[in-house]
Amino acid sequence: MTSINALSSSGSDTFDEGPFVIGYTCCFTLMGILLVQCVIYFNRFPNDRMWTKVLVSVILLLETIITVFVFHGFWIGATQHGSNLSWVVAVGIGGQQLVPDPLWSFVALAPLTGLVSSLTHGFFCWRIWAVRKSMIVPALVMTLSLVQFAMVTFGGVVYGLVPDTNVDRPMPFYVPVWLVGSLVCDSVITVYMTISLVDCSEKSGFMHTKSLLTKLIKLTIETGLVTTTAALIELILAIAFRVTMYHIALFYIISKLYANCVLATLNSRILLNQTVDRHKTAAVYNNWHSSDRSGGMPSRNSADVIQIHTKVETSIMMDPYDAVSHLPRQGMTDSLC
């Protein structure tokens, strides 16, 4: 592991353990929520596209591995090093902090976290394409997402994400690239998707379609704010408090926030499962004796007309964005806009 300056001029061999306690607690809690969401998803939507189910399975597998690694660090620090939870990121030698050597399970969190975030960005980029049928914005977002994935992997594996307390030296380049890249991806996805759905809503002439789009807009903003806010807070903590490990609390849970947002979006179809009513009217003429001999249609004045009203109900249990394309609308193509 690359040598890094002493972490504390006072010779302390530990960090403030508060961020670790918060990180561990939130990590395990969010994992439980994710498991519940996955059970709901696989039970309620067994007919989803294969690639969607594979994506959910991969995210669940990655998050399970991340949780196991986080628990490994917690267990080692709590049982073998005098309840020193911060031992996972820096080993004290002889009571003096020398060369930090992060625990292997902590080092592995960086690439796994970056991978989950990139998969999440890819999922929402596909949604942008489904709405706009344009690859420009999704391609730009995914390029930036892959860059942040590379930076967090590089920083985690090579440097262990251990802070450098020498404030006179510039911050390692990978930290702002990683955090700013993730923040920009989240922001662009949220803003562009919201604008796209608002545009579709304005073009729709059907109230039920507008209602569905309004709910999708609200869901997009809510899930986008979760990941964007978390990325922003982690960026601020990593830069403004670079001599601490305050950002570790967000680092432990950021991937699970991404994963839960994906599942929340997919499971939102349960709440969106409203029926869309379409009424059609058919007129049947049963007074055929009044028609002329040439076989023409009877006149309205002489015919008895039976009005038949039919009610068609469509259940929305598909992907919430795809569902819009199955709703009746005016002046909109199958691509939603």
Instruction: Please give, one letter per residue, the 3-state secondary structure of the chain.
Output: CCCCCCCCCCCCCCCCCHHHHHHHHHHHHHHHHHHHHHHHHHHHCCCCCHHHHHHHHHHHHHHHHHHHHHHHHHHHHHHCCCCCHHHHCCCEECCEECCCCCCHHHHCHHHHHHHHHHHHHHHHHHHHHHHHCCCHHHHHHHHHHHHHHHHHHHHHHHHCCCCCCCCCCCCCCHHHHHHHHHHHHHHHHHHHHHHHHHHHHHHCCCHHHHHHHHHHHHHHHHHHHHHHHHHHHHHHHHHHCCCCCCCHHHHHHHHHHHHHHHHHHHHHHHCCCCEEEEEEEEEEECCHHHCCCCCCCCCCCCCCEEEEEEEEEEECCCCHHHHHCCCCCCCCCCCCC
- pLDDT for position 272: 75
Q: Do 66 and 95 have their domain in common? A: yes
Question: Is 80 inside any structural domain?
Answer: yes
Q: Do 249 and 289 have their domain in common? A: no
Residue 100 confidence (pLDDT) above 50: no
- pLDDT for position 183: 94
Mean pLDDT over 206-227 rounds to 81
Q: Residue 110 — φ and ψ, nearest 5°?
A: -60, -55
Q: Do 49 and 145 have their domain in common? A: yes
Q: Residue 313 — φ and ψ, nearest 5°?
A: -110, 130
Q: Do 164 and 212 have their domain in common? A: yes
Residue 280 confidence (pLDDT) above 60: no
Question: Is 320 inside any structural domain?
Answer: no
Mean pLDDT over 228-240 rounds to 89
Q: Distances in Å between the alpha carbon of 11 and those of 6, 48, 94, 128, 278?
A: 8, 56, 10, 51, 74
Question: Is 5 inside any structural domain?
Answer: no
For the ranges 16-20, 139-143, 203-207, 322-326, the maximum mean pLDDT occurs at 139-143
Q: Which residue has the higher pLDDT, 275 or 230?
A: 230
Average model confidence (pLDDT) for the chain?
A: 75
pLDDT bracket for residue 28 (50, 70, 90): very high
Q: How many domains does the chain have?
A: 2
Q: Do 193 and 85 have their domain in common? A: yes
Number of C-beta neighbours around residue 109 at 10 A: 24
Give the residue from 246, 270, 294 where a domain finishes.
270
Tokens of 20: 């670790």
Q: Do 101 and 163 have their domain in common? A: yes
pLDDT bracket for residue 253 (50, 70, 90): very high
Question: Is 230 inside any structural domain?
Answer: yes
Give the residue from 208, 236, 270 where a domain finishes.
270
Question: Is 129 inside any structural domain?
Answer: yes
Question: Is 330 inside any structural domain?
Answer: no
| Domain assignment of residue 291, given as a range | 277-315
Please enumerate in sequence order all residues whose Cβ is within 8 A of that of 53, keeping only pairs 6 or more positions apart, or say none: 42
Question: Is 127 inside any structural domain?
Answer: yes
Number of C-beta neighbours around residue 139 at 10 A: 12
Q: Do 221 and 288 have their domain in common? A: no
As a whole number of angstroms, the distance between CA 289 and CA 302 comes to 10
pLDDT bracket for residue 328 (50, 70, 90): very low
- pLDDT for position 59: 97
Cβ density class 277-314: b for 16+ within 10 Å, e for less? eeeeeeeebeeeeeeeeeeeebeeeebeeeeeeeeeee
Q: Considering the chain, what percentage of its residues have pLDDT values greater than 90?
A: 36
- pLDDT for position 39: 97
CATH of the domain at 78: 1.20.1070
Residue 220 confidence (pLDDT) above 60: yes
- pLDDT for position 38: 97
Residue 2 confidence (pLDDT) above 50: no
**Environment class of residue 238 by beta-carbon count within 10 Å: exposed (0-12), middle (13-18) or buried (19+)?**
buried
Q: Do 107 and 211 have their domain in common? A: yes
Q: Do 263 and 291 have their domain in common? A: no
As a whole number of angstroms, the distance between CA 34 and CA 63 comes to 9
Q: Do 284 and 141 have their domain in common? A: no
The residues with which 306 forms a beta bridge, in sequence order, are: 284
- pLDDT for position 213: 77
Q: Considering the chain, what percentage of its residues have pLDDT values greater than 70?
A: 64
Q: Do 120 and 24 have their domain in common? A: yes
Q: Which residue has the higher pLDDT, 205 or 189?
A: 189
Residue 311 confidence (pLDDT) above 90: no
81-90 pLDDT, tens digit each: 555 555 455 4
Question: Is 331 inside any structural domain?
Answer: no
Residue 40 confidence (pLDDT) above 90: yes
Q: Do 296 and 168 have their domain in common? A: no
Q: What is the pTM of this model?
A: 0.75
As a whole number of angstroms, the distance between CA 127 and CA 134 comes to 11
Residue 289 confidence (pLDDT) above 70: no
Residue 11 confidence (pLDDT) above 50: no
